[in-house]
Amino acid sequence: MSSILEYIPDWSVFGQALAALLIAIVVNRLYHKADAFVRRGKAIGKSGKSGKSGKSDKAGHSRSVLAASGPGAFPKFEPGAVPESEPEPFSGDYESDLQAILDSIGRNSDFRFRTFPMAKLNRQAALFWVDGMQNDRILNLQLMQFLMFEATIEAMEAPISPGDVLPFESLARCPERGGFKRCVLFGHAGLLIEGVPYGFLIQFPDAAGRAVAEPVSEALLRGPRLGFSEVLSENTSMLRRQGFGTSLEMINYKVGTRLTKDLVLAYFKDIVNPDLLRDVEDRVSKLDFDFFGESGYVEQLIEDNTLSPFQQAQNTERPDRVINALLEGRIAILLDGTPFALIVPATFSMLLQSPEDYYERWLPSSLLRLLRFLAAFMALMAPALYISLISFHPGLIPTELAISIIETRQGVPFPSLIEVLILEVSIEILREAGIRLPKPVGPAMGIVGGLIIGDAAVQAGIVSPFLVIVVAVTAISSFSIPTYSAGITLRILRFAGMLFAAILGMFGTILFFLLLCSHLTKLKSFGVPYVTPISPFRIQDWKDLFIRAPLSLMKRRPAMLKPRDNTRRP
């Protein structure tokens, strides 16, 4: 009997197991209450929005197919796209309309206007524009010359064809002053002609913008060196130039209540699941915010679970990644003013895949992908495993290694949790400082700072040399994740895992991992399970999960997206 009792764990082990169970129950209850609170707040916000002034949910959003406008075209002005509370039509009195426009927007320091006679009409006219938002050469040498000496009402109202000599990219009539003033401030040139009871809106080509460059956040050794820019028309044209086809469709929306921007949904109409498309359109049409400075605003407002640390839409600067996602049946969201496009729905495996996986042969690509999954596990769990093994379960470490670690920890005055936190926080500060510093200085400062701080901490006896190795491996592993946002998520969760390990040891580490897996299996992105094809299990989609099967075997699109056309090739 005594020999049997020796193998029964001490009462503290049962206490740890009970504490782990209670913590899991409490965390689960708190999470459900917080999620219900957030959902209730969203429901109240949507009901309040739909009830305002009797307007519909889609008020303020224009929907137009860009395919009809040609590749790279800006959406043309649509009167009423951003409705005024009280539309103010032009009076037809030239002096009155001119003075009303000047009184409304004339105080802006970048606002410009010029009055001039139109020779063929024998009338006065006024041209309005914003400095820096038009091509000055076209404005001064072509547009003004045309308006002053050649323009007639009939020519300007006639449909514009490529054979015309009019120096306009688009020209539209605007019947009311509010839309006219908004479009002038947004970048159009506005023309007011004496005796005409409406204004003309003129858009030029060659808007100001930076040159197209290689993506900064997603560099590849093999692949296209092309990245999105901040100009929406350039981004849509990049998608068009990926290949000839007629099924790529783009839908334009106006988003923002205070400052309006263009947002585009891109998809292949003969591939995308109609239910998925309706879901995305419904969420985008209900966006209600003053200003969308970046696609991250859109991502946070349309995601399924606001409390989840995992991103539910993938962001990318690469047109090739976007077009490949669209060919799988996904939808891309492009916002004017940012080079980062969103891909929905997103799954966890997407965050660890690189476009380079498909440009190299399948064997090296599969090996590199397996290394990324291993690196993600190390970046998440290595510090927690170190704390649990050193503080609670040294018997699980091989004897010689345990003796070596104990010798290196001689003289360290802090427990393992504080020791790990000191180095991890230092590494995070160095990483953030390296990003903010100028490019020539940032990488050097990160490397030198890490070496100096690590060596000084070991010499001072604050941390052990073995821990420096663990933290270095953890940091390097986090750098190997292709998506930067996913790396941030793992870095945040790493600290939570360390706390679990410091409280409950290996029980806490396992509990943390199980809670994380439970959350991932319940998480969805636009109705698609986040960890599919692992759960729910779909064997046909495993060809592009941990390994990348040969292209000759990947004849079907991912079944989890339920595309209209399931076959990649006839």
Report how far residue 277's alpha carbon sits from residue 331's, in angstroms, rounded to the nearest whole number.
8
> Which residues are CB-contacts of 403 (< 8 A; sequence separation ≥ 6)?
none
Report how far residue 314's alpha carbon sits from residue 64's, in angstroms, rounded to the nearest whole number.
25
Enter the tokens of residue 64: 């137009």
> Which residues are CB-contacts of 241 (< 8 A; sequence separation ≥ 6)?
71
0.85 exceeded by pTM: no
SS (H, E, C) 128-153: EEECCCCCHHHHHHHHHHHHHHCCCH
At residue 342, the 3 state secondary structure works out as strand
Report how far residue 416's alpha carbon sits from residue 378's, in angstroms, rounded to the nearest whole number.
18
Report how far residue 157's alpha carbon sits from residue 160's, in angstroms, rounded to the nearest whole number.
9
Tell me which DSSP letter residue 75 carries.
P
pLDDT at site 442: 66
Tokens 């040399």 belong to 465
Report how far residue 506's alpha carbon sits from residue 510's, in angstroms, rounded to the nearest whole number.
6
Enter the tokens of residue 45: 């916000």
Q: Are the C-beta atoms of 219 and 227 separated by less than 8 Å?
A: no
Residue 51 has a CB neighbour count (10 Å cut-off) of 9
Torsion on CA atoms 477, 481, 485, 490, rounded to nearest 10: -40
> Which residues are CB-contacts of 431 (< 8 A; sequence separation ≥ 6)?
446, 475
Closest of 302, 276, 134, 311 to residue 207, by C-alpha: 134
Could you list the pLDDT tens digit for every one of the 570 residues in the chain? Answer: 455 555 455 666 666 667 766 776 777 677 667 766 656 655 555 544 444 433 334 334 444 433 333 333 333 444 334 444 457 888 888 889 898 888 888 888 888 888 888 887 788 899 998 887 776 777 777 778 778 887 776 666 655 443 344 556 677 888 888 888 888 887 788 889 888 888 888 876 555 566 777 888 888 888 888 889 888 888 998 898 888 777 889 999 999 988 888 999 999 988 999 999 999 999 999 998 999 989 999 999 999 998 899 999 999 999 999 999 999 999 999 999 899 999 999 999 998 999 888 999 999 999 999 999 999 999 999 999 999 998 888 888 888 888 888 888 887 888 889 989 988 888 888 888 877 777 666 666 666 677 777 778 888 788 888 888 898 899 889 888 888 888 889 989 999 999 999 998 899 999 999 999 999 999 999 989 999 899 888 888 888 889 898 988 888 888 888 899 888 864
pLDDT at site 569: 67
Per-residue pLDDT of 142-162, as tens digits, reads 778 778 887 776 666 655 443
The dihedrals phi and psi of 91, each to the nearest 5 degrees, come to -85, -20
Distances in whole angstroms, Cα of residue 263 to Cα of each of 80, 287, 289, 332, 344: 17, 11, 13, 10, 15
Enter the tokens of residue 75: 């959406």
pLDDT at site 64: 40
Report how far residue 372's alpha carbon sits from residue 351's, in angstroms, rounded to the nearest whole number.
10
50-56: long-range pairs with CB below 8 Å, 24+: none
Closest of 104, 87, 82 to residue 256, by C-alpha: 82
Enter the tokens of residue 246: 């007629």
Output the DSSP codes for 141-197: IIIHHHHHHT--HHHHHSPP-TT-----SEEEEE-BHHHHHHHHHHT-EEEEETT-S
Tokens 């079907």 belong to 556
Give rounded-to-5 percent helix, strand, coil for the chain.
Answer: 50, 10, 35
Q: What is the CA radius of gyration of the chain?
A: 30
Enter the tokens of residue 535: 């759960």
